[in-house]
Amino acid sequence: MDSENGFYSDEFHLDSKWLIDPKNLFVGPRIGEGGHAKVYEGKYKNQNVAIKIVHKGETEEEIAKRESRFAREVAMLSRVQHKNLVKFIGACKEPVMVVVTELLAGGSLRKYLMSMRPKCLDTCVAVGFALDIARAMECLHSHGIIHRDLKPDNLILTADLKTVKLVDFGLAREETVTEMMTAETGTYRWMAPELYSTVTLRQGEKKHYNHKVDAYSFAIVLWELLHNRVPFEGMSNLQAAYAAAFKNVRPSAENLPEDLALILTSCWKEDPNARPNFSQIVQMLLHYLSTAAPAGPPAIPSRLFSSENRVFTPDSPGTSSLMAIRDDETPKAKLENKSKGFFFCFNQCY
């Protein structure tokens, strides 16, 4: 069950300073999509922002689950700030669930790495990115928060391609001593083995685990940063998860500097209690960087997203706000007015 201390209340409670007036939101081109939400580039009071619009769901159970997840994400974003966590700007729940954050123009780490293949990042650059990630996770864990979905898609680069920030806290949970959490979380290829059982868990069944699941996911991301290859190549997501959980299979740590191989192998150990915490991981990464040869300039591909001064075209999905359609409008009037507000975007996207 969720924590009862109010940090992750299932109800949406937000300080007024974080409440977004939908009249001031301009929804532009879509820049990302997940199973439960879509992300758009946009503007809020002339500030370039990322606008995450959460799917409401179809069934009552689905609606309740997504509203709860939305409330938890907003609660976390509004209370925890760090230079390697995406900056929270605000949120609103009506007429739809919206989370507004800073716009990180560098694109996702996944797209950045793909744009470089088959080349790899300079090792020190890769470790520098890993240090950003580890510091973000250290901050979350210091607040008792488990991210549970650490992967390259949820790591976004700043416009200068020099800094990585962690985004998407929809699966984040507060860790408590007695808490049991759903096992079916995160993305299989990066998930820790303890999220599985020798007996297939039914959907919604609970399983014990702790913050060390994030250390395992970090190791897989670090391996990917160093090799610029998909971990567990040749396997489906489920095959990769099965191999990691039941056969103790890991990506190869050979042909790496000893210090980096040690970080990988310690973070992805089968026994969660044997894995280091993120304070220790940060120190190990800093030690490597202090002893490594100076890094050359990174190979930087062209920017993956629009420029900071992007001017939205008239056919952008949304043109003004998230204002609800008046009840007294006829269906024809509603249709004609769709292009004047956010619901044009909403209807086109769902």
Domain spans in the chain, listed from the N-terminal domain onward: 16-102, 107-291
- Active centre residues (catalytic): 149
Give the pairing of strands 37-44 and 155-157: unpaired
Closest CA to 155 of 190, 185, 188: 190
Q: Which helix (H) or strand (E) covers residue 227, if one does?
A: helix 212-227
Handedness of CA 251, 113, 139, 127 (dihedral sign): positive
Task: Classify residue 55 by its DSSP letter.
Answer: -
Structure tokens at 105: 């123009």
Q: What is the dihedral of CA 316, 321, 326, 327, to 10 degrees?
A: 80
The CATH number of 107-291, from 1.10.510.10, 3.30.160.270, 1.10.287.3510, 3.20.20.80, is 1.10.510.10
Q: What is the DSSP letter of 10?
A: S
Closest C-alpha among 238, 126, 133 to residue 191: 238
CA distances from 270 to 25, 63, 195, 246, 273 (A): 46, 36, 11, 10, 9
Supply 271's token pair.
Answer: 């026994």
Known binding residues for ATP are 52
pLDDT value, residue 336: 40
Strands in the chain per DSSP E: 25-33, 37-44, 47-54, 88-92, 98-102, 107-108, 145-146, 155-157, 164-166, 173-174, 181-182, 206-207
Three-state DSSP class for residue 135: helix
Residues 136, 154: Cα–Cα separation, whole Å: 12
User: For the whole prediction, is pTM greater than 0.85?
Assistant: no
The end-to-end CA distance of the chain, in Å, is: 30
pLDDT in the model for residue 125 = 96
User: How far is residue 296's CA from residue 217's CA, in Å, rounded to a whole number?
Assistant: 28
Run of H or E including 220: helix 212-227
Is there a contact between 97 and 54 (Cβ–Cβ < 8 Å)?
A: yes
Which residues are documented as binding site? 52
Check residue 169 and give its pLDDT.
Answer: 58
Write 256-263 long-range contacts (CB < 8 A, 24+).
256/226, 257/123, 257/288, 257/292, 259/284, 259/287, 259/288, 259/291, 260/123, 260/127, 260/222, 260/226, 260/288, 263/219, 263/222, 263/288
- C-beta of residue 92 within 8 angstroms of C-beta of residue 22: yes
Q: Does domain 16-102 have CATH number 3.30.200.20?
A: yes
Find out whether 182 and 202 touch, Cβ atoms under 8 Å. Answer: no
Token readout for 85 is 């966590």
Q: How far apart are CA 326 and CA 322, in angstroms?
A: 12
Q: What's the average pLDDT block by block, 10 residues per block, for the chain (350 residues)? A: 38 78 92 83 93 88 87 86 94 91 93 95 96 95 86 93 84 43 58 62 55 92 96 88 88 94 96 95 96 59 42 41 38 39 42
Q: Is 14:88 a contact under the CB 8 Å cutoff?
A: no
What pLDDT, on the 0 to 100 scale, is given for residue 131? 97
